[in-house]
């Protein structure tokens, strides 16, 4: 059974952009229901929580700075202590060596005084003395008052220098006086010489009144020779007098930094020198400063990242808030929707249903969500069909066009539904499933049914009207065969009454009577066929045959005005799939209008041309063309409106019904203005 009705409910095809994602949905007008309450945070906590890391960073900064200062102080103290220890060791070594020098010279002087030494032996011993301590340049024998002096030995490498001459005589004399008093060899205070700084060592030669052995030292050489190399590499060493005047300096690896310094008295026989040490080591500041600067930079970085994090969190909180509102809004939308909503994942499991859907199928949400096929609302005998549909949808081949089927309520009642499927995508655009809108079409189906019955009644009424209009012509049409039958029968009776009527005589007359009766019967049958209330049928119809079938009735219509009828059928036309009686009804309505439009024109012009030709896309086109008065613009606008008529006795339903019938056959009904009159075209698609 096929419904040729005008659907009241028309499903609009789904659009491709019907993706269900938050981004594509319209913004909410405001939360319809309250969002699920998150655990409330105290205002104080919310305010202070961002201060805590800041305070921690400041404390960390303070602690680091304190530790660095402490370590700095410690390092300075360590380095200072080390310097003092080293200086004392150098002082000891210098004192020891100079004392030994003094003792050695005193020994030679004593030997000389005892007369144990020849001149040659004295000079030889002094040479040994010079070679042992390379810092002494010359040794001379001098009388008191420095007036007489005799060089006994001299360092061969200092040719051109006069070390004894450079030494101030006052210095030598003061030293001689001191040596005399103590009876031991003594050093004089340091003096400046053109080649550097010098020091005299005076040893009294006992017995021989007013004679002294005087050695002149080169202080720089003394420093070079007596200060250990390793110490000199990391320190600047100076020798100064008690007034602070620096006389000799050893700075083989560069000048001291002035950070770690130490001054210690160098007590040697006869005089006191001051040993100054200045470490090449710089202050530990740069490391501390680098660490301090690095810590501050890191702290800033930390503050900055904290701030960035805070802003990010603020944004996320705001987004989360908006999302919650959005979710609440959408939930309210889903809850209040009268259309059933159902979401499925890619495995076909239901992930969401709204209350309308639960109400529709009479099942609670728990009975649906999380369940996969077969679903409890399926009709058992149609399970295969559903499964095919599910597979089709989930394979991604499903179109978004509506799909009609039937579901079963929990109570067993079946009801029609229309389903729209749309792909469900996540925020990245990846498909995560399908969202379906399900419409309970029970009401629509009922309305459609009522509409269909109404249409059917209207069509039947229209057919009866058509027949009513043709009643007089019909009477005339039937009159002819009936008259002919009557005359054949009367003739036959005459023959019989006269007697001797043989079968050969009666046969032809009775056969003709029978023919006429059949013709009348055919007319009656066609009329009966036409007006009979019946279910529409859907068969493949040949256009030529269709026109031939209704030709008799068209001729009946044309008889009143005497219009000439021409029927033309192009061979090899595609069949029209539909109901013959309904299509005849359309043709008869069009021919009736055409004949009526030609009622007023010159009788010679009354030609009704019916044609079936090849139409668009290989379909078939049936045209009814008249040469009547034509259709004015005002009429054309409302031509297909129900109840529009220009005729006194017209109903105005003809063309409206015709269009409904043609469209129910998938075709189109249109009209065309011609030079003379109008043409109506029915275009049917190929089967």
| Residues at the site binding ligand ADP, with contacts judged by CB under 6 A | 589, 593-594, 597, 626, 628-629, 631, 635, 639, 644-647, 650-652, 654-656, 678
Calpha distance 192→199 (Å, rounded): 9
Smallest distance from ligand ADP to CB 619, Å:
23
Of 511 and 670, which CB lies nearer to ligand ADP in the complex structure? 670
Q: State both tokens at 591.
A: 């021919």
Of 6 and 333, which CB lies nearer to ligand ADP in the complex structure? 6
Of 348 and 642, which CB lies nearer to ligand ADP in the complex structure? 642
Smallest distance from ligand ADP to CB 625, Å:
9
Of 375 and 547, which CB lies nearer to ligand ADP in the complex structure? 547
Of 71 and 629, which CB lies nearer to ligand ADP in the complex structure? 629
Smallest distance from ligand ADP to CB 593, Å:
3
The answer to whether the CB of 275 falls within 8 A of the CB of 264 is yes
Q: Is the peptide bond before 374 cis (omega within 30 degrees of 0)?
A: yes
The answer to whether the CB of 215 falls within 8 A of the CB of 198 is no
Torsion of CA 12, 17, 21, 23, to 10 degrees: -120
Residues in the chain: 687
Smallest distance from ligand ADP to CB 407, Å:
41
Smallest distance from ligand ADP to CB 613, Å:
19
Smallest distance from ligand ADP to CB 410, Å:
49
Residue 611: closest CA among 663, 680, 560: 680
Calpha distance 15→19 (Å, rounded): 9
Helix (H, G, I), strand (E, B) or coil at 426: coil
The answer to whether the CB of 424 falls within 8 A of the CB of 433 is yes
Of 342 and 625, which CB lies nearer to ligand ADP in the complex structure? 625
Smallest distance from ligand ADP to CB 10, Å:
24
The answer to whether the CB of 667 falls within 8 A of the CB of 684 is yes
For residue 682, list its beta bridge partners.
Answer: 622, 669
Of 135 and 596, which CB lies nearer to ligand ADP in the complex structure? 596
Q: How far apart are the first and last CA of the chain?
A: 17
Q: State both tokens at 41.
A: 């945070």
Exposure class string for 186-218: b at 16+ Cβ within 10 A, else e: bbbbbbebebebbbbbbbbbeeeeebbbbbbbb
Smallest distance from ligand ADP to CB 464, Å:
14
Of 503 and 648, which CB lies nearer to ligand ADP in the complex structure? 648
Smallest distance from ligand ADP to CB 559, Å:
18
The answer to whether the CB of 583 falls within 8 A of the CB of 547 is no
Calpha distance 681→673 (Å, rounded): 11
Distances in Å between the Cα of 60 and the Cα atoms of 54, 66, 67, 295 are: 10, 10, 10, 9
Of 315 and 673, which CB lies nearer to ligand ADP in the complex structure? 673
Of 23 and 648, which CB lies nearer to ligand ADP in the complex structure? 648
Residue 175: closest CA among 208, 134, 217: 217
Radius of gyration of the CA atoms of the chain, in A: 67
Exposure class string for 479-503: b at 16+ Cβ within 10 A, else e: eebeebbeebeebbeeeeeeeebee
Smallest distance from ligand ADP to CB 609, Å:
12
Please count the other Cβ atoms lying within 10 Å of the Cβ belonging to residue 638: 14
Smallest distance from ligand ADP to CB 469, Å:
10
Of 196 and 652, which CB lies nearer to ligand ADP in the complex structure? 652
Helical (H) or strand (E) element with 42: none
Of 172 and 658, which CB lies nearer to ligand ADP in the complex structure? 658
Q: State both tokens at 352.
A: 């969401």
Q: Give the strand pairing for 564-569 and 607-614.
A: parallel
Residue least distant from ligand ADP (Cβ): 654
Smallest distance from ligand ADP to CB 474, Å:
19
Of 358 and 595, which CB lies nearer to ligand ADP in the complex structure? 595
Helix pair 51-113, 119-132: axis angle to 10 deg:
170
Of 94 and 608, which CB lies nearer to ligand ADP in the complex structure? 608
Calpha distance 433→178 (Å, rounded): 115
Residues 6+ apart with CB under 8 A from 21: 424, 425, 426, 427, 429
- Please give the backbone phi and psi of residue 193, each rounded to the nearest 5 degrees, phi first: -130, 165
Smallest distance from ligand ADP to CB 668, Å:
17
Of 351 and 645, which CB lies nearer to ligand ADP in the complex structure? 645
Residues 6+ apart with CB under 8 A from 120: none
Smallest distance from ligand ADP to CB 3, Å:
23
Smallest distance from ligand ADP to CB 673, Å:
10
Q: Determine the Cα angle at 14 with ends 10 and 19, to 5°.
A: 150
Calpha distance 186→217 (Å, rounded): 12
Smallest distance from ligand ADP to CB 629, Å:
6
Of 125 and 678, which CB lies nearer to ligand ADP in the complex structure? 678
């Amino acid at each position: 059974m096929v419904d040729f009705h005008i659907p009241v409910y028309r499903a609009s095809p789904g659009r491709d952009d019907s993706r269900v994602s938050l981004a594509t949905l319209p913004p909410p007008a405001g939360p319809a229901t309250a969002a699920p309450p998150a655990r409330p945070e105290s205002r104080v906590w919310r305010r202070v929580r961002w201060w805590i890391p800041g305070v921690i960073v400041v404390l960390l900064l303070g602690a680091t700075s304190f530790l660095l200062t402490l370590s700095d102080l410690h390092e300075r103290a360590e380095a200072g202590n080390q310097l003092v220890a080293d200086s004392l060791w150098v002082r000891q070594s210098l004192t020891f060596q100079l004392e030994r020098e003094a003792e050695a010279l005193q020994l030679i002087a004593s030997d000389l005084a005892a007369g144990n030494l020849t001149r040659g032996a004295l000079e030889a011993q002094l040479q040994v003395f010079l070679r042992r301590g390379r810092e002494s340049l010359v040794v001379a024998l001098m009388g008191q008052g420095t007036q007489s002096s005799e060089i006994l030995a001299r360092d061969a490498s200092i040719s051109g220098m006069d070390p004894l001459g450079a030494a101030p005589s006052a210095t030598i004399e003061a030293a001689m006086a001191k040596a005399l008093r103590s009876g031991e060899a003594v050093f004089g205070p340091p003096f400046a010489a053109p080649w550097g700084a010098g020091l005299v060592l005076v040893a009294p030669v006992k017995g021989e009144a007013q004679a002294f052995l005087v050695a002149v030292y080169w202080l720089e050489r003394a420093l070079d020779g007596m200060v250990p190399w390793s110490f000199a590499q990391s320190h600047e060493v100076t020798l100064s007098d008690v007034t602070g005047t620096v006389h000799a300096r050893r700075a083989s690896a560069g000048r001291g930094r002035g950070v770690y310094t130490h001054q210690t008295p160098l007590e040697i026989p006869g005089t006191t020198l001051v040993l100054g040490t200045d470490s090449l080591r710089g202050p530990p500041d740069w490391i501390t400063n680098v660490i301090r600067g690095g810590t501050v930079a890191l702290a800033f970085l930390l503050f900055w990242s904290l701030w960035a994090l805070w802003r990010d969190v603020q944004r996320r909180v705001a987004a989360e808030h908006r999302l919650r509102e959005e979710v609440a809004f959408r939930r309210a939308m889903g809850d209040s929707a009268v259309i059933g909503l159902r979401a499925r994942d890619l495995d076909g499991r239901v992930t969401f249903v709204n209350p309308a859907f639960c109400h529709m199928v009479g099942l609670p949400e728990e009975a649906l969500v999380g369940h996969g096929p077969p679903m409890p609302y399926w009709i058992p005998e149609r399970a295969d069909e559903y499964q095919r549909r599910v597979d089709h949808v989930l394979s991604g081949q499903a179109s978004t066009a509506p799909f009609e089927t039937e579901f079963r309520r929990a109570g067993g009642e079946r009801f029609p539904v229309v389903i729209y499927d749309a792909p469900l995508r996540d925020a990245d655009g990846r498909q995560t499933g399908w969202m379906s809108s399900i419409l309970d079409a029970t009401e629509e189906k009922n309305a459609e049914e009522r509409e269909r019955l109404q249409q059917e009644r209207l069509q039947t009424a229209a057919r009866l009207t058509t027949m009513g209009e043709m009643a007089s012509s019909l009477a005339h049409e039937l009159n002819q065969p009936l008259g002919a039958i009557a005359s054949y029968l009367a003739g036959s009776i005459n023959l019989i009454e006269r007697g001797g009527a043989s079968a050969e005589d009666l046969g032809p007359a009775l056969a003709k009577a029978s023919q006429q009766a059949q013709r009348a019967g055919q007319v009656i049958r066609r009329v009966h066929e036409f007006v009979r209330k019946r279910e529409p049928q859907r068969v493949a119809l040949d256009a030529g045959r269709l026109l031939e079938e209704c030709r008799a009735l068209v001729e009946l219509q044309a008889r009143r005005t005497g219009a000439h009828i021409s029927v033309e059928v192009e061979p090899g036309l595609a069949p029209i799939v539909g109901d013959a009686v309904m299509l005849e009804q359309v043709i008869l309505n069009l021919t009736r209008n055409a004949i009526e439009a030609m009622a007023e024109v010159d009788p010679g012009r009354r030609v009704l041309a019916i044609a079936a030709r090849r139409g668009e896309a290989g379909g078939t086109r049936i045209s009814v063309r008249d040469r009547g008065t034509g259709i004015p613009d005002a009429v054309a606008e409302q031509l297909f409106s129900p109840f529009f008529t220009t005729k006194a006795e017209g109903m105005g339903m003809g063309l409206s019904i015709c269009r409904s019938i043609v469209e129910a056959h998938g075709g189109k009904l249109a009209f065309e203005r011609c030079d003379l009159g109008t043409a109506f075209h029915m275009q049917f698609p190929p089967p």
